[in-house]
Structure 1
Amino acid sequence: MLRMLYYLLMGQVRSQASAAAVAFALALLLAGLLALSPDLAFAGTGGSEVASWYNDIASALQGFWGKLIAMAFIGFSLVFFKDGAIIPAIFLIFVGLGVGIIPDIVDARFSLTF
């Protein structure tokens, strides 16, 4: 199996069947590792493990950097409008307007009890 993995990584897989066999073996190995270490799963924990990440991202999006990113998106949308690309420009405007609003939407929709 290690030889097959080496050939896969080096781009020397001889057929689709051997590539599929390597992919299946890696998936089986991953499933085995997850079955033997259930402490890696975050299901049913209440989200306290990711609370600090969420708070950091939410404060960054609503602070100075979020405003800067939103202005960059809106500025790029003006460049796209000038070049005649209407659909990407509209998408960038929506992303720029939504950057600071997304954490508020998540907080209003989901009651996060950390």
Structure 2
Amino acid sequence: MKSYIFIFMSFLLASCAHTFMRGTVAKKINSKKAVICLGSNEVKVGDIVIFQESVCSSSPTHNITMHENAELGGVSNQTGYGVEKCELTSLGFGTVSELLNDHYSMVETKGDFVFKESTQVEVKK
């Protein structure tokens, strides 16, 4: 019985582990420098981080009833029906240059891409 509990707990703990360390840009200092929400518990100086952005698009489907179309003034693409597609795209890379505390670190880039506050970052494995 103890072996079953041990095996169960092993799977439970493994399922809670993060596969990717992700954060966001907390403050953009300039086009080459940013403070990110990944600290000393997640990154170390010299780690490479990937700056990422969600790009979403919508393609409306025109499968609405005549009643819905009439209520909306005949414009079917305002119904909210449609196919949503989102992809996480890579903008560029940066290097952790300084650990600020447990929650934040400084990252430097070459400045060859545009990012903003709230841009997603992920530690490159």
Normalising by structure 2, report the TM-score: 0.23
Structure number with the higher helix fraction is 1
Q: Which has the higher strand share?
A: 2
Which of the pair has the greater relative contact order for Cα pairs under 8 Å at 6+ separation? 2
